[in-house]
């Protein structure tokens, strides 16, 4: 009994850090969300639930940002998960060439998001960008687009960059999951006359469920918080078409000087992420069990 009490003390430093850097700011944000603090002065007024009412019923941009977030998340989750899984299957064996390609695909992960954003903003540039230039040289001018300037296209262009930057990282998780599948299971299904697709459906996919759960949950949270990439590539524009919740919160607080309202938006953002993540875990947990 005494021994276990002692162990609790080891948790204290971590707990203290968690309380100081997570719980305290979160609670502070919660308090702030009931005020009209504009970020500079030492005076503010309590406004009750006004900020929350405004967020839910009187702010079209918040709804637009949420819709953009969901669009972005869906595209990134679907493509990042499937592409990383395909890469992992193709590069599963530890041959020299596979190890090289794994390292190559993982490489974008180690570049900072801001650098990735600047590189791709330049690639996508309609006037001097290399993408439209290459399409033109290949005789595919018709495919050249205003990648970041077209409000209908911009969010998908950024989603592509997100997938490019992180598919390699997710591939590594899938490779680890795939390599842990016992070879005997494949031998058994192939002896029973299964096709490759049947082997994937009945062995690979169920066995990598824990890895898929991690990949999907991580990708969801990351795509919801893709602040740096969007901020550096489009700043939320044009016409709010790439404004997501995190960039909108930033704009509300630091450009609009409405810290109280931005705090309410942050609380809403936290609840939305928690709900989506919980839903995903429930869904994937059910599947994996």
Partner 1 sequence: MKRGVNMKKITVTILMFLISALVVAGCGNSSTNSGKEAGESSGKTTKISFIHWRGEDVKVFDGLIAEFEKANPTIKVEMNVFPSEQYLANAQAKLLDGASGDVFASFPGAQFGSISKAELYAELSDADFAANYSPNLLAAGQKDGKQLAFPYQLVYNQPIYNKTIFEKLNLTPPNDWEQFLQLCETLKKNGYIPIAFPGADIGPGQFINSMMMNNNTDEDIWAKVESGQAKLTDEWFVRTLSQFKELNDKEYFQKDSLGTSKDIAGSLFAQEKAAMLATGSYMMSGMKQQNPNIELGLLAPITVAADQAVYEGIHTTTFMLGVNALSKHKDAAIKFLAFLSEKQNAEKYANGTGQLVTVKDVSYKTPELQHSATWMDKKTRFQPRYLIANAANEKAVTTSVQAVIAGKTAEEAAKNAQALIDQNIKK
List of residues contacting partner 1 (CB under 8 A) = 6, 9-10, 12-13, 16, 20, 38-42, 50, 54, 58-61, 121, 124-128, 146-151, 234-235, 237-240, 251-257, 261
The least CB distance from residue 254 to partner 1, in Å, is 4
Whichever of 117 and 189 has its CB closer to partner 1, that residue is 117
Backbone angles phi, psi at 258, to 5 degrees: -120, 75
The least CB distance from residue 271 to partner 1, in Å, is 21
Q: Which residues of 139-163 are buried (b: 16+ CB within 10 A; e: fewer)?
A: eeeeeebbbbbeeeebbebbbbbbb
Whichever of 34 and 261 has its CB closer to partner 1, that residue is 261
Whichever of 210 and 238 has its CB closer to partner 1, that residue is 238
- What is the rounded CA–CA span in Å between residue 107 and residue 86? 17
- What is the rounded CA–CA span in Å between residue 116 and residue 109? 9
Whichever of 83 and 158 has its CB closer to partner 1, that residue is 158
C-beta neighbour count of 7 within 10 angstroms:
8
The least CB distance from residue 39 to partner 1, in Å, is 6
The least CB distance from residue 232 to partner 1, in Å, is 10
Contact 162, 242 (CB under 8 A): no
Whichever of 12 and 142 has its CB closer to partner 1, that residue is 12
H/E run at residue 150: none
Contact 40, 257 (CB under 8 A): yes
The least CB distance from residue 20 to partner 1, in Å, is 8
């Amino acid at each position: 009994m005494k021994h276990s009490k002692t162990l609790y003390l080891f948790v204290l430093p971590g707990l203290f850090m968690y309380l100081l850097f997570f719980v305290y700011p979160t609670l502070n944000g919660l308090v702030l969300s009931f005020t009209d603090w504009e970020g500079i002065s030492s005076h503010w007024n309590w406004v009750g639930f006004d900020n929350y009412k405004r967020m839910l019923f009187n702010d079209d941009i918040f709804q637009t940002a949420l819709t953009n977030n969901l669009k972005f998340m869906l595209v990134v989750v679907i493509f990042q998960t499937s592409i990383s899984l395909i890469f992992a299957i193709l590069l599963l064996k530890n041959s020299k060439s596979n190890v090289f390609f794994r390292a190559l695909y993982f490489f974008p992960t180690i570049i900072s998001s801001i650098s990735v954003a600047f590189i791709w903003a330049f690639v996508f540039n309609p006037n001097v960008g290399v993408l439209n230039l290459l399409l033109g040289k290949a005789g595919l001018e018709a495919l050249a687009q205003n990648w970041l300037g077209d409000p209908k296209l911009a969010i998908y262009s950024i989603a592509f960059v997100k997938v490019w930057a992180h598919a390699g990282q997710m591939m590594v998780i899938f490779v680890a999951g795939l390599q842990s599948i016992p070879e005997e299971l494949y031998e058994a299904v192939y002896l029973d006359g299964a096709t490759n697709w049947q082997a994937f459906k009945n062995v690979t996919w169920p066995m990598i469920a824990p890895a898929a759960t991690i990949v999907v949950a991580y990708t969801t949270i990351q795509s919801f918080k893709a602040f740096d990439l969007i901020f550096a590539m489009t700043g939320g524009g044009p016409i709010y078409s790439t404004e997501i919740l995190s960039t909108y919160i930033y704009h509300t607080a630091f450009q609009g000087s409405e810290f109280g309202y931005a705090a309410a938006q942050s609380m809403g953002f936290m609840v939305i992420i928690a709900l989506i993540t919980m839903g995903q875990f429930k869904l994937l947990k059910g599947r994996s069990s």
